[in-house]
Amino acid sequence: MVGTMDLLTLLFLLLLNIVGICNGGVTSRYVRKAEPSVDMPLDAFPPPPGFNAPEQVHITQGDHDGRSVIVSWVTPDEKYPNVVTHWEANSKRKHKTHSIIKTYRYFNYSSGYIHHATIKRLKYDTKYFYQLGSGNATRRFHFTTPPKVGPDVPYTFGIIGDLGQTYDSNQTFEHYVSNPEGQAVLFVGDLSCADDHPQHDNRRWDSWGRFVEKSTAYQAWIWVPGNHELDYAPEIGENVPFKPYTHRYHVPYRASQSTCPLWYSIKRASAYIIVLSSYSAYGKYTPQYAWLEKELPKVNRAETPWLIVLLHSPWYNSNSYHYMEGESMRVAFESWFVQHKVDLVVAGHVHSYERTNRFSDVQYNITNRLSTPVKDPSAPVYLTIGDGGNIEGLADRFTEPQPSYSAYREASFGHAMLDIKNRTHAHFTWHRNHDNEAVVADSQWLFNRYWYPEEEHC
Ligand SMILES: [Fe+2]
C-alpha cells in the first residue's frame, strides 16, 4: 500500500528525473531508512537436513575464459565425500571432480570442511546439473555456463555490494533473485560482515553462506574483497588478514597471472572484468601495481569490448561517509584507466547509491593547481553500490553542493543490473528496495568507450 507521502515523493523524484539530471546531477531526497539495520538470527537459514549435508554452496568462474566453474561447499562433520558429480542437462553421462579441502581456526571458532572443486572443460552456454553429498544428505543444483567470449555477446550482470545479513540484506537479495534476467553477480565486497560481531563471530560467515546459497549455488558470483573481509584482529591473536575470506571463497587468480587471490581478472561474454583490492598494497613496485600495469594493455577490445573494474572503496563519491578513503588508489591508477578507456568502475563500501558522469582528475601535477575533476570522454562512469543493507545502516550525509561529477545519488538500499546488449550499448539500472523489483529508480544507457565513445544523454 503506497501512502500519500510516498506518492508525493515519487512524483517529486519523477520531476527531478525529468528536469534535473542533465543539469549537474540529482540528489534524491528519497531516504527510506537511516537507522542501523538489524541482523537476522543466526538460525534464520538453518543447515540442510541429513548427516554432514553439504551447505553454503557457491560457484564462481574457474578460469579466464568461462569454461571452468569452481564449486565450493562446506561439510560440517566429516571430510568426505569430497566430490562433485556433474552432467549436461540433456545427457546422462556423469563426471566426478574431487575437491581440495580447507579448514581454519579463528579465535575460538573452528570451521567445517571447506571444499573447492574446479570443474574444467565445460561447454559454453550450456546447462549443467551438479550433485553434492551422499545418502539422504544428497543435494542437487544447476548452473549455465556463459556464452563463448565475443564482442557482441549480450550478457546481464547483477551488481550487489555490502550485503551483510540483516532484514534489509534479505530484501535486497530477494529483489535480485526475483529478477530472471541476472546471469551472474558482480559482488563488490563486504560479504558476511561477521566482524561486526564480538570476536568476529565466524558463525556469521556460515550463516551468510546459507543465506545467499539460493543464488550463489546456481549462478557465478564474482568476488571482490572489502574491508569486512580483512578480519585482522591482533587483539584476539588474529594477525593474518583475509583468513576466513580466502579459505571460503576461491577465485581463478592464477589464470590471469595474478600472484594473489585478492586481485585478478576474467573474461565473461563480452566483458573483461578486473578485480582490485583496496586493502592490499598498490603503490609502485608492489605486486598489485605490477600486475595491473601489465594487465591493462592485454585487454583486447575487439574480443571483449566492455572493460569493467571492480573494487571496494570508491574513487568518486560525494558522501561524507568514508570520504576520500579511495583517494590514494585513484591517484595511483586513474591515469591508466583514462588511457585504456575503462568503461565502468563499480565500487561499494559507502552505504548508498551514486552514479557519476564521465569525469577525470588526472591533470594535477602538484604545482599546476589543476586539481578539479573535469569532463573527460575517455573516463569511466563510476558507480557506488554499497547499498546492500548491512548492519551499519545507510550513509545518508551527502556533501553539499553536489559536485559536477555526480549524476545521481540517493541514500536507499538496493541493487543494480548491467545489461550488455552488444559492443556499443549497455543499459544500467538501479533498483531501490522500497519499490518492486521492476521499478527502475535510476538508469543510464552506457556507450562503449572503445567502439562508440559518444557522450551519453539522459
Ligand atoms: Fe566496506
Per-residue pLDDT band at 47 (split at 50, 70, 90): very high
Rounded Cα distance between 296 and 341, Å, is 10
11 Cα–ligand 1 center, Å: 32
Burial class (CB in 10 A: 0-12, 13-18, 19+), 177: middle
The predicted model gives 422-439 an average pLDDT of: 92
Rounded Cα distance between 351 and 412, Å, is 8
Q: Using one digit for the tens of pLDDT, what is the confidence trace for 12-33?
A: 444 444 333 444 689 887 766 6
322 Cα–ligand 1 center, Å: 9
Q: Using one digit for the tens of pLDDT, what is the confidence trace for 146-171?
A: 999 999 999 999 999 999 999 999 99
**Quick one: CA torsion of 277, 280, 285, 290, rounded to 10 degrees?**
-20
156 Cβ neighbours under 8 A, 6+ residues apart: 181, 182, 183, 417, 418, 419, 420
How are strands ordered across the β-sheet holding 83-88? 95-98, 83-88, 127-132, 139-144
Per-residue pLDDT band at 5 (split at 50, 70, 90): very low
pTM of the model: 0.94
150 Cα–ligand 1 center, Å: 33
Statement: 151-189+262-447 belongs to CATH 3.20.20.70: no
162 Cα–ligand 1 center, Å: 6
348 Cα–ligand 1 center, Å: 7
- Whether the CB-CB separation of 348 and 384 falls below 8 Å is answered with yes
The predicted model gives 197-225 an average pLDDT of: 98
Rounded Cα distance between 176 and 414, Å, is 9
Domain ranges of the chain: 151-189+262-447
- Whether the CB-CB separation of 270 and 150 falls below 8 Å is answered with yes
Q: Which three cell numbers stand for residue 135?
A: 545418502
H or E, element range at 15: helix 4-19
**Which residues are annotated as catalytic?**
322
Q: What is the DSSP letter of 388?
A: S
349 Cα–ligand 1 center, Å: 3
Asked if pLDDT for residue 242 goes beyond 70, the answer is yes
- Whether the CB-CB separation of 334 and 361 falls below 8 Å is answered with yes
